[in-house]
Amino acid sequence: MTAINPHKAARLRRNVLLYVAAALLLLIWVVPILWAVIVSLKSESEVLAYPPQLIFQPTMANYRDAVSGGFSILPSFFTSFILSTATTILTVLLAVPAAYAFARLSLPGKRALGFYTLVTQMIPPVGLVIPYFLILNKIGWLDTYQGLVTVFLTFSLPFAIWLMVSYMEDIPKEMEEAAFLDKASRLQTLWHVILPQVRGGIAVTVIFVFLNAWNEFLFSVQLSGNHVRPVTVAMYNFVSVEQTLWAKLAAAALIAMLPMIVIGIAAQKQIVKGLTVGAVKGGGRR
């Protein structure tokens, strides 16, 4: 799709215009995040100055407050870490074998079960948070790790199964057949042949499940409390109680989101792959 314009000058002008247009659009995605960074480096009074100031003496005080003292989000940070890690481990342990069965083995009622998994993925979260509140309240699991991890499985598990199925389907069948000819058992084949092939897919699944658990809000805000409070809830409490401390909020929010931003940039290729694995392949698979 590159230009076939033979005139170099026209092509250059066109490229410059393209870059300017693209850069403007790029800016729209960066500005809110960049502005949060700037605000987090200001004092509270500088934040309120009008017109907004770009030149100021940067301070790290907001970051110090965000990690220590009464405004610290570190406890929530660790809570989110435990919740997301536990959810990710459980999800992968359950989803990978299931995906293998769905993608490559004969399983009675597979069509129906695949459809069932798909439908569970489409349940609106608000439809689950209401019964979960009542159920967890009854069994005393409100504001507990096991309660929230159980609820997180409702969106991570169907998602992970479908993602892994699409990776499992890509493995050439000859690989398995070769292993069978060598008299490997099905379990040995899964462990020594299939799993190494889908390592990339498992990495994508781990990233997405962790990310979604870390960013979850609706279940967290309603089913957690003072004991198990994830960062997304800590953020929200921050602003609704301390309306005016916006520089501290910005600093705390950036710290809370830092792991996701780092994962996002470091695993950029895997994330794009995970986002597009179905959409792009949908074309070739008809």
- Residues 109-148 touching another protein, rule: CB under 8 A, are 110-111, 113-135
Query: Please, which of residues 191-210 interact with another protein by CB under 8 A?
Result: 208
| Cα Rg of the chain, angstroms | 24
How many residues make contact with another protein (CB under 8 A)? 123
Token pair in block for residue 49: 């100055």
Q: How far apart, in whole angstroms, are the C-alpha atoms of residue 38 and residue 194?
A: 48
Residue 51 found at the interface with another protein (CB under 8 A) = yes
In angstroms, give the least distance from the CB of 67 to another protein: 17
Q: How far apart are the first and last CA of the chain?
A: 25
CB–CB of 202/212 below 8 Å?
no
In angstroms, give the least distance from the CB of 248 to another protein: 11
**Residue in 187, 196, 226, 241 binding another protein, rule: CB under 8 A:** 187
Query: Please, which of residues 6-25 interact with another protein by CB under 8 A?
Result: 15, 18-19, 21-22, 25
User: CA torsion angle for 132, 133, 134, 137 (degrees, to 10)?
Assistant: 110
Residue 162 found at the interface with another protein (CB under 8 A) = yes
In angstroms, give the least distance from the CB of 47 to another protein: 7
Stretch that binds another protein, among 31-39, 70-78, 139-147, 195-203 (CB under 8 A): 31-39
153-171 burial: b if 16+ Cβ within 10 Å, else e? bbbbbbbbbbbbbbbbeeb
